[in-house]
Amino acid sequence: MTTTGVEGPAARKVGFAGLGTMGSAMAANLARAGFELRVWNRTPGRAGALVALGAIEVASPRELAGASEVVVTCVTDSPQVGEVIFGPDGLAEGFAPGSLLIDCSTISPASAREFAARLEAHGVAMLDAPVSGGSEGAVAGTLTIMVGGQAAELDRARDVLSAMGHTITHLGPVGSGQVAKAVNQVILCGTYLGVAEGIVLALKSGMDAAAVVSALSGGAAGSWILQNRSGRMIEDSYPLGFKIALHRKDMAIALELARSIGAVLPVASLAACFEDGLVANGHGDDDNSALARIIRSLSGI
């Protein structure tokens, strides 16, 4: 991966909290880009590969913030983000005035606004910057990053974000990134269901489903999901890209937002019900393309 030009004595000090599937890959790209990187994870034992790339593992979020100009967080949900920032030995206890937090987690827009307001009282700025692109995009550094916050803070963060993603869009004040991510997840669930239904229709008709996908990929039905996930649906095998349980969490955020503003999302609601069933039956760690399990089962294949 190419660097961002921050190597050497002037390298910026960046912290990263949350070393799950997405976070560990994102942090690795920051290390490769030449940032002076410190990392922390609630569950120990996940920083070895990053330390090998030159990162320094620290003992607490407080220590992370105290040693960093910019801190990136990528954890599960609003409660976890709040705990990392404001809990005992949290980031808020270590931040110096003028620091910047970039939260790449997917949380509710209301939580993002609340956390930003509380940090502002400490003299700390925040961007909500959820990402899309799955584990492949996290590894390749090609994520789409949806940013809410002040434009001046995005300018400060652009070199950090550019090490993790290719498409960085400023969408408005804090919380706007999370609204955009909710829209993203709603569109994704509908596309997954549409592709799954198409695959099942091809299979039940006795067609070579892979050939059908190839025929459709260059037309109006073409999509990232058709190109990258249809094979899993055909094979009925769903290795991890993005956990279906995490997508269900994101759908809860989107559906709550929809209820609060009077938007009706019938397809998203149906997908959420299907995901509930998959999680209940032990498939929560499957890739999100496992929505096809439901369509296949209902169709007797």
Q: Where are the alpha helices (DSSP H) in 132-262?
A: 134-140, 151-162, 176-204, 209-216, 224-235, 244-261
Mean pLDDT of 69-75: 98
Q: Which of 173, 190, 224 is the last residue of a domain?
A: 173
CA distance 293 to 75: 28
Which CATH number is 280's domain given?
1.10.1040.10
CA distance 23 to 10: 24
Q: Which of 173, 198, 218 is the last residue of a domain?
A: 173
The sign one gets for the Cα dihedral 30, 35, 41, 46 is: positive
128 and 262 belong to one structural domain: no
Q: Is residue 1 part of a domain?
A: no
Report the chain's mean pLDDT, rounded to a whole number: 95
CA distance 253 to 77: 10
233 token code pair: 């649906």
Q: Which of 173, 198, 224 is the last residue of a domain?
A: 173
134 and 199 belong to one structural domain: no
Q: Is residue 7 part of a domain?
A: no
| Structural domain containing residue 260 | 179-298
For the annotated catalytic residues, the residue numbers are: 181
22 and 112 belong to one structural domain: yes
18 and 167 belong to one structural domain: yes
pLDDT of residue 240: 83
252 and 146 belong to one structural domain: no
Q: Is residue 8 part of a domain?
A: no
Residue 88 has pLDDT above 70, yes or no: yes
∠ CA 130-58-29, nearest 5°, is 45
Q: What are phi and psi of 180, to 5 degrees?
A: -60, -40
141 and 42 belong to one structural domain: yes
146 token code pair: 């949806």
The per-residue pLDDT for range 1-14, each reduced to its tens digit, is 333 444 443 579 99
CA distance 120 to 115: 9
34 and 169 belong to one structural domain: yes
pLDDT of residue 7: 46
190 and 153 belong to one structural domain: no
The sign one gets for the Cα dihedral 242, 251, 61, 96 is: positive
Q: What is the pTM of this model?
A: 0.92
239 and 195 belong to one structural domain: yes
144 and 188 belong to one structural domain: no
154 and 204 belong to one structural domain: no
CA distance 126 to 99: 9
How many domains is the chain built from? 2
297 pLDDT band (50/70/90 cuts)?
Answer: very high
